[in-house]
Amino acid sequence: MTTAEPTLNLNQIRAEFPALNDDCVYLDNAGGSQVLRRVADRVSDYLLTSSVQLGASYAQSQQAGVKVLAARQSVATLINAAHDDEVVMGGSTTSLMFQLTQAILPDIRPGDEIIVTNTDHEANIGGWTRLKTAGAVLKIWEVNPLTLALDLQDLERLLSPRVKWVALTHASNVLGTINPVAQVAAMAHAAGARLCVDAVAYAPHRLVDVQASGADIYAFSFYKVFGPHYAVLWGKRDLLLSLHSLNHFFIGENVIPYKLQPGNVNYELSYGCIGISDYLTCVGTDLGSTGTARQKMQAAFDAFEKHEDALAERLLTYLRSNKAVRIIGVDSTAAGARMPTVSFMVAGQMSEAVVRHMDRFNIGIRFGDFYARRLIDALGLQAQGGVVRVSIAHYNTPEEIDRLVQHLDEFIG
C-alpha cells in the first residue's frame, strides 16, 4: 500500500495573499508575484515600531539592529549561504548587478574576457558590457535557434585562459528553460573563470541552494518570490572580501556586506523578507515535514513544483493542440524540463492583441520581450511585438487556467 504525496491546500495558500481576494486571474507572476500578508505585516511593524537609525546605544536602536540582522540571517538560511555576511541586499537584481560589476571594474585589464548569453534578462548583461570601458572583451554564448538551448559545446569553445567571468541565467524568463548551472560552474572554474547567476526566474519555483549551484555570485529579486520590491546578491565570502568597496572611504575593505551596500540596506523591506521564510516553513510543516527549516522549505517547493507543472501542462496541452500557436520553448513539463513560465505566439496576430483580449476578462498576462531583448531579436520575434507570456505561481488554480484557455480559444479559434 502506498501513501499519497501531500498536496497543497489551495484555500489555505491563497488566504496568505490578500490580493487574491479580487476577481483578477494573476498570471503575470514572472513580472512580480503577489505579496504575502505576513511580509506586509512585518514591513508595517518595523515602520511603526522600529524606525530608527541603527548603531546607536539606546535600546530602540539596538532592538532595530537585532531585527535587521535577523532578516539577513533568515535570507542566508533561505538560500543556504555558508555565512550570513555573504548576503548583500538592495533595491533590485539589476541594481545589485550594476553594483557588482562596478566593484569588479578596477581589476579588469585590457583583453580580459567575459562571457554573457543572448538569452538572459538584461540585468545579467548590461553591467558586464560596461566593463568594456576598461578593455574587457565580451563574448556571446548564443542560443541554439533550433533547440532554443544553450549548448555546452558552444561554451567550451568560448572558454579560454583569458575568461574572467561567465554570466548565465538559472532559468530563462521567456523560454522557461532551466540551465545546468552546476555543470557550467565546473567548466568555468576549470578554465580559471568565475560564474555569476541570475536566478530571478528560478527562485519562485525551486528552493535556492547557492552552495550546490557552484556559482560564485547568485542573485534574485524578492518581489518575484512573494516578498517586497527588494533583492539579494550572494557571493562567496573570499570573493566579496576581494572586491573593491562601493561605500565611504572609511568603511573597511573587510566589512562585508556593508562595503557593497552604499547607504545601507532598506531596514523595513529587509525585515519584511523574514515573512517569506516563515511562510515556506509553515507550508512545509502543513505538508508533514518535521525536519530543519530548509527541509520544510524543500517540502513546500516540492509541492509547488508538482502543482505548477500540472497547471503548466494543462495550458501547454491546449497550446500544442492549436495549429495557429507556436510555443517558444520546451513544449512539455515532462521530467522537470522547464519552469511554469510559458511563452507563445499566434499566427497572424500581434502578441499585444492576444493580451488586450484577455484584459477584457480580468486575466493578467503580458506581451513583449521582458528585458530579454537580445533573445527576442535573435529569434526574430520582434515583428509580432514579442511573445505572449503566461507565468504561473503555486497559488494559481486549475479553474484559473481553464478560464484562460477558454478565452484564448475564443480569440484564436
Tens-digit pLDDT profile for the chain (413 aa)? Answer: 344 577 899 999 999 999 999 999 999 999 999 999 999 999 999 999 999 999 999 999 999 999 999 999 999 999 999 999 999 999 999 999 999 999 999 999 999 999 999 999 999 999 999 999 999 999 999 999 999 999 999 999 999 999 999 999 999 999 999 999 999 999 999 999 999 999 999 999 999 999 999 999 999 999 999 999 999 999 999 999 999 999 999 998 999 999 999 999 999 999 999 999 999 999 999 999 999 999 999 999 999 999 999 999 999 999 999 999 999 999 999 877 799 999 999 999 999 999 999 999 999 999 999 999 999 999 999 999 999 999 999 999 999 999 999 999 999 98
CATH fold group of domain 41-277: Aspartate Aminotransferase; domain 2 (3.40.640)
CATH fold group of domain 10-35+293-412: Aspartate Aminotransferase, domain 1 (3.90.1150)
3-state secondary structure of 140: strand
CB 117 within 8 A of CB 142: yes
Mark residue 109 as left, alpha or beta (left: phi above 0; alpha: psi -120 to 50; beta: remaining): beta
CB 78 within 8 A of CB 297: yes
The pLDDT assigned to 4 comes to 57
Q: How far, in Å, CA of 403 to CA of 364, rounded?
A: 12
C-alpha cell belonging to residue 117: 548569453
Q: What is the pTM of this model?
A: 0.97
Q: Name the residue ranges covered by the structural domains of the chain.
A: 10-35+293-412, 41-277
Query: What is the residue-wise DSSP string for 199-238?
Result: -TTTTTTS---HHHH--SEEEEEGGGTTS-S-EEEEE-HH
